[in-house]
């Protein structure tokens, strides 16, 4: 069994923001699999799903970004999964939009959601799909930028990026993190 967690913030004001691209990826994957993510435990929307013979749990924490670890940790412990069965999908300011990077382990890189998960689990032995959202182009403060929608000329690319993030998660489940890294990290999607 695998746990796939998409990070974001709950509620309509955050729904289409850059910071929610991880959550949107998991929601969209669930929809394509015919799964309904329900709010019923772990402070999340989640659904157990069978994906090509593999059992997975799709999870979107509803605890706000900086407390994502509470939801992820509760779910991981409930299903008695090791950290290496966890894939976290999240936004990354240090990668341009159109770039996705799959990593096996690593630090938080300043991402408060990842930092929360590391803090709760007590380790960073989980894989990630880091989705580039780039840096502000119009002088916005970082906090305002990540909590705003994509620019109009970026919206189509953001949809393409979500599809690629889903592909990365599928590869992680079916063939392992190394294959996902080899096939995804060399791609550069463009507007």
Residue 124 counted as domain residue: yes
Measuring CA to CA, how many Å separate 6 from each of 59, 127, 138?
6, 12, 27
pLDDT of 40 > 90? The answer is no
Task: Tell me the pLDDT tens digit for each residue of 73-131.
Answer: 999 999 999 999 999 999 999 999 999 999 999 899 889 999 999 999 999 999 999 99
Q: Identify whether 189 is part of a domain.
A: no
Instruction: Tell me whether residue 30 is in a domain.
Output: yes
Domain with residue 8: its CATH number is: 3.40.50.1470
C-alpha dihedral sign at 111, 113, 116, 121: negative
Is 14 inside any structural domain?
Answer: yes
Q: What is the 3-state secondary structure (H, E, C) of the chain?
A: CEEEEECCCCCHHHCCEHHHHHHHHHHHHHHHCCCCCEECCCCEEEEEEEECCEEEEEEEECCCHHHHHHHHHHHHHHCCCCHHHEEEEEEECCCCCCCEEEECCCCCCCCHHHHHHHHHHCCCCCEEEEEECCCCCCCCCHHHHHCCECCHHHHHHHHHHHHHHHHHHHHHHHHCHHHHHHHHCCCCCCC
Provide, rounded to the nearest whole percent, the portion of the chain with pLDDT above 70: 99
* 116-152 per-position pLDDT tens digit: 999 999 999 999 999 999 999 888 999 999 999 999 9
138 has catalytic annotation: no
Q: Work out how many domains the chain is built from and give that number.
A: 1
What is the per-residue pLDDT for 187? 92
In a domain, 122, yes or no: yes
The residue annotated as part of the active site, out of 19, 46, 90, 111, is: 19
pLDDT of residue 96: 95
Mean pLDDT of the chain: 95
Give pLDDT, residue 177: 97
Burial string for 24-60 (b: 16+ CB within 10 Å, else e) reads: bbbbbbbeeeebebeeeebbbbbbebebeeeebbbbb
Range(s) of the domain holding residue 9: 2-184
- Does residue 47 sit within a domain? yes
The percent of residues in the chain predicted with pLDDT above 90, rounded, is 93
Residue 191 lies inside a defined structural domain of this protein: no
């Amino acid at each position: 069994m695998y746990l796939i967690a998409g990070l974001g913030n709950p509620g309509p004001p955050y729904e289409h923001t850059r910071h929610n691209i991880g959550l949107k990826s998991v929601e969209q994957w669930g929809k394509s699999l015919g799964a309904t993510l329900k709010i019923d435990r772990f402070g999340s929307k989640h659904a157990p799903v069978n994906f090509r013979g593999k059992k997975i749990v799709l999870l979107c924490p509803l605890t706000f970004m900086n407390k994502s670890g509470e939801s992820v940790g509760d779910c991981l412990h409930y299903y008695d999964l090791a950290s290496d069965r966890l894939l976290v999908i999240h936004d990354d300011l240090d990668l341009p939009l159109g770039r996705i990077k799959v990593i096996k382990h690593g630090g938080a890189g300043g991402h408060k959601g990842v930092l929360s998960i590391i803090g709760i689990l007590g380790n960073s032995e989980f894989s990630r799909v880091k989705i580039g959202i780039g840096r502000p182009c119009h002088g916005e403060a970082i906090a305002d930028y990540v909590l705003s929608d994509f620019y109009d000329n970026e919206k189509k690319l953001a949809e393409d990026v979500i599809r690629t993030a889903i592909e990365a998660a599928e590869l992680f489940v079916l063939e392992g993190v190394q294959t996902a890294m080899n096939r995804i990290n060399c791609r550069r999607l463009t507007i």
